[in-house]
Amino acid sequence: MATTVTESTPSFVKLQLRTAYGPVYRDVLTSPPREARSDEIPLIDIGRIYGDLDDRKSLAQEIKYAAENTGFFYIKNHGIPESAINGALDASKTFFAQPEEKKQIVSKSKGKYYNGYSGNGTAMASPTEGLDYRESFSWRYEPQYDPDPKDPANVPAEVLPYIRGEDYVWQGTSHLPGFKSGCITYWQECLKLARRLVRIFALVLDLPETYFDSVTTYPGSDGVFNFYPAMTAAQAASSADIGLGSHTDLQCFTLLWQDMNGGLQVLNKDGQWIKASPIQGTFVVNIGDYLMRLTNDRLKSTVHRVFNRSTVERYSMPFFFGFNFNEKCGVLPSCTDENNPPKYEPISCADWCQLRFQQTDVEGKGPSSTTTTMTTSASNVPAVY
């Protein structure tokens, strides 16, 4: 007697994602997360970024595939010295090992621009996934530390109101030897790479290589340390919190160093969580909402999260890169035609960020750009990737 085999119907749950215009929802498969395939999150050797124009154009073609599909890729031969990474990681571990009262000296509640420390359980990136089980420390662009030397006394008048660095984060950590230098050195190396990488994105978008140079002189460039405390086995078994809830990043793109413990997951187009497991010696790069907006949704800012119910500590060090906050930018000319008109009105990075604040902070103080949410416009709210 023949046996009839029937395929089971996939099961989905609703994932709520915060936006500046209200919640949007995504159907997510209930099947366990799987490892990403190499075509989904490719590993790209970007050593060619330091080569000639033909090398850089060749690199742009590889990045184009990743940016237009999953919006995530790994990079190796990135040029960020191991000493800078280790110095930042040491600084991060030193900071988070302090008693809570010491960390609260630089609480983000004391500043205007969300610099400083955010404690465990004080944010909720996605309402359907519980509180974010992590601590963070963040700082923002200050011209005196720019690796392309800038005189703080000569910042252009139109840029000056948008400088977001705050001294209290350094004053309140001055008792930690090497902390500030560990932060700044890593941040400088990330900024140098980001300015090279944004030129590759110009080539990806069929624009002159230097197209974005004038809008990245005083860029949005946030340094962040994330610490995911270890759970006991009992906590891990019973916790409803995941680490960092589902979200997209806010600006143009992110450079992420993560330790080898894992936890980063990316939501693919089929609604399946795929693991962006750590690869030694690499950074993860992902597209942010502002760049997706400027490219008329051609490049994908993709939902991701950190699922971390681990009995070991996890550290990550993202760097968020965007344009000068005063620059008002619309959809790029190379991303539209008569059959594909602009979907979005011009907006500045500053206004875009402001639209997205106070989306994830439980206390209502507003998030940093590390935990903001989905790209939308008033006429295109359902666009979720």
In degrees rounded to 5, what are phi and psi of residue 196? -70, -40
Confidence of residue 167 (pLDDT cuts 50, 70, 90): very high
- The confidence score (pLDDT) of residue 38 equals 97
Question: Average pLDDT for residues 311-333, to the nearest whole number?
Answer: 96
CA atoms within 13 A on the CB side of 32: 2
Every domain of the chain and the residues it spans: 12-335+343-359
Could you tell me the CA-to-CA distances from 350 to 37, 216, 250, 369 in Å, in that order?
36, 13, 11, 11
Grade residue 3 by pLDDT with cuts at 50, 70 and 90. low
Band (341; pLDDT cuts 50, 70, 90): very high
153: pLDDT strictly greater than 90: yes
Q: What is the pTM of this model?
A: 0.91
What's residue 27's pLDDT? 94
pLDDT digits (tens, 9 = 90+) for 44-54: 999 999 999 99
**Quick one: angle between helices 53-68 and 179-204, nearest 10?**
90
Res 224: pLDDT: 98
CA pair distance 331, 341, nearest whole angstrom: 9
pLDDT at 24: 84
Sheet order of strands, 253-258 included: 43-45, 72-76, 283-287, 253-258, 314-324, 219-228, 135-139, 116-118
Asked if pLDDT for residue 369 goes beyond 90, the answer is no
| Average pLDDT of span 348-356 | 81
Question: Class of 12-335+343-359 per CATH?
Answer: mainly beta
Reduced 3-state DSSP string for the chain: CCCCCCCCCCCEEEEEECCCCCCEEEEEECCCCEECCCCCCCEEECHHHHCCHHHHHHHHHHHHHHHHCCCEEEEECCCCCHHHHHHHHHHHHHHHCCCHHHHHHHEHHHCCCCCEEECCCCECCCCCCCCCCCEEEEECCCHHHCCCCCCHHHCCCCCHHHCCCCCHHHHCCCCCCCHHHHHHHHHHHHHHHHHHHHHHHHHHCCCCCCCCHHHCCCEEEEEEEEEECCCCHHHHHHCCCCEEEEECCCCCEEEEEECCCCCEEEECCCCCEEECCCCCCCEEEEECHHHHHHCCCCCCCCCEEEECCCCCCEEEEEEEEEEECCCEECCCHHHCECCECCCCCCEEHHHHHHHHCCCCECCCCCCCCCCCCCCCCCCCCCCCC
Summarize pLDDT for 253-302 with one digit per residue, the tens: 999 999 999 999 999 999 999 999 999 999 999 999 999 999 999 999 99
pLDDT at 373 > cutoff 90: no
